[in-house]
Structure 1
Amino acid sequence: MKQIPVIQVGIQFKETIEFTLFGDFKDKLGVKLSGRYSATIFGKGFLLLKHEEGEEIILKSGLLFEPQSEDAYFTLHAVTIGINFHWERDEDQSFKGGLKLLLENDKITAINVLPVEDYLMSVISSEMSATSSLELLKAHAVISRSWLLAQIEKNHSLQSNTDAYKSVFETDDEFIKWYDREDHLNFDVCADDHCQRYQGITRATTEEVENAVRATWGEVLMSGEAICDARFSKCCGGMVEKFENVWEPVNHPYLQAFADNDVDPEGFNLDLKTEANAEKWMLGMPDAFCNTTDKEVLSQVLNDYDQETNDFYRWEVRYRQSEVSELVKKRTGIDFGTIQEMIPVERGDSGRLIKLKIVGDKKTLTIGKELEIRKALSESHLYSSAFIIEKEDVDGQLIFVLKGAGWGHGVGLCQIGAAVMGAKGYDYNAILMHYFRGAELKKKY
């Protein structure tokens, strides 16, 4: 049997990092560590201060400390989770596997090195409730494994490609940017929502999660000879989006647009690139797997901090003209002056805005893609870029009203839709084939 891949996960990025090693850890040079330490930058490496004895150790950047017993683990203190989201906070997190400290961008990066299947146990428990239905957990195990291994392949490709990976296109009239994998060149994936939410052994796994990982051990989605770049988001809003409308202009045949249902909802024209059709869609409540208020189903997908978010299938945000002008200036670093108009320029297949023209009395600029738009119009991230813009006059004051659909980029598996499918009796293969059409399920190891 093929060996299980070992991966590197970037956990923490700070000028000073505190961690506790429970049990003995040792690097390849024979340096042994145990106990609580503070790490600060020292030249091209680190100065470790051991809390109990005050002992100081100077280390090179990039050394890997591996546990010397099965029950050894380490805790990173004050790890920031939910970066730039409305529920951002710091918490202590514990991890199995090895700890690597790396100096990059004048900060210390703490990296967890561990086998893929151990990583998956945590990701599934971190991304959704560990008490989700077995079929949903199995489906998520397959897509998380597929996405991760596809990212590692992509990372190797980026490093060997002589052409620089470009994710920003800027002219006098447009600023188009997407956020994906190009900024993680020293490890495989990060631990936050930018990649997949990973919290080590902090969020206790369950027998159900372990069963789901073991039942799908080594299984991935394949498209021909390539592992599928299997994406997922919280709620597609009733229509799944194409990959290239969110990230680089590459068409993946298994990441296409379709209604999140067995049949197309009645009463809607599904050409949501057209403004009139998108408007009717956003203002309506089309039947979809993810159109649910069932708290039992939602609790399978939404952990406690996610349940601080309500009304994500259809939502509304209101901004005073002065408020949105200041917000956009703060979030983009561009002074548009007083914003007069926000005009949809281009929509994706799900109605998500790819390009939005912002018209101010000082500057006019078209921005995109979807995450850049979401960042500009919220203190954290707007739920999605699938929204229409209405204007109201309230006591002589101009109000911009954003009426939107869904939570996240909408590409690939819709977690809430998949939870509903699991509750309706669909098995994990049927769930996967609904969201990744044309893909095949294969065992890699």
Structure 2
Amino acid sequence: MDALAQAVLSGASPDVLESVPVPTEYVAAHLRIEDVDIFSGLEEKDVRKTIHVGPVPMPELAPDEVLIAVMASALNYNTVWSAKFEPMPSFGFLRHYAKQGGWATRHDQPFHVVGSDAAGVVVRAGTGVRNVRTGDHVVVATAHVDDQDPVTHNDGMMGAEQRAWGFETNFGGLAAYAVVRASQVLPKAAHLSWEEAACNPLCAGTAYRMLISERGANMRQGDVVLIWGAAGGLGGYAVQMVRNGGGIPIGIVGSDRKAEIARDLGCELVIDRRDIGEISADPEVSVKSGKRLGKIIREEIGEDPNIVFEHVGRDTFGISVFAARRGGTIVTCGSSTGYQHTFDNRYLWMRLKKIIGSHGANLYEQWQTNRLIQRGRVSSMLSEVHPLESVGEAARAMQNNEHMGKVGVLCLAPTTGLGITDTGLRERLGNKRVVPLMPT
């Protein structure tokens, strides 16, 4: 471990941290450009073969950036996509970004440090940074935006140069250090450990924009919301957002254990996928399954969903379109089962439904989400924790859908449970509410 990391772990003051040199290289989970064609012609694409953990060069810091000593990170499905080189190698994203010139050229490397979540300690701030200081305990918002684009100032997610940090940019969070723009930094919730805090930003912010924001479904009190994967990372945050906002969350899950989790999170109705029938992208099959699903919901809740929270993609999208009520909304992101969605358009057009695409969260939406987390109103969906050297195995489990909730990764933190500075709030909430998926 380098001297700066040792100083961070010892709790050194900001002055001491500033005096310790930044290392010339650091350990990171990364992809290598020579592996891009490794899965060519193969049906099985095992991400353990392409995720490497080892040293990479430390980049120079731009004036509007901060360097974070990453105590913990978390896995997201975009790391699985990156490691499979689907739908395209992420090195293409890095080359495209580098064409801007200037500081952007640093991102075009023969390696790609992945990871779109992080919690840690600021160890350097660029000369143009005002509101973030060395020693701050922070989490990282995913949206990497161009603050010189006029559209960004209306909605950061609509700017032409908006990117997902650690997926479409380099120097991401599954590493000992991470480089982020100052506009991505938010204060860490003091009652959470490093790994509990690291799990939140991407999925919680995405769920907030999809459901609560006027740019998403603009959920109102009393809305019935159907949530696919309600015991997963994204779905678990969605259940909490619906519950907190006075909506009626209905969760769809794939096992008895996940059903138990969905109920604990606040679902008023939990439906096992097996009770719906075949889950298929075939429009005829999806209508049949959608009818079964609608019957279950009407019998138990009394009405069809106002909103369908859709992130599974190809396999479920036709059912989602069918299941939404007349005039209802299907809000979609992700698509872990495939991007090419098929559905019977009659049920969309003749029943006046809406499909809204959503992606990430702008800084204000992310700030509002973080405020809820800081106040203990949204729980961390952390379910398991792995060391950085085992990130390939953890990503493989995610690839095979063997996980629940969010999968945490310890980077510099030597063990779990560190970083908690507000024990009073944590005691008032209780561990079950703080991290409902973790064993007590």
TM-score over 0.5 for the pair: no
What is the TM-score of this pair, normalised by structure 2? 0.27
What is the TM-score of this pair, normalised by structure 1? 0.27
Radius of gyration: which is bigger?
1
Whose strand proportion is higher, 1 or 2?
A: 1
Whose helix proportion is higher, 1 or 2?
A: 2
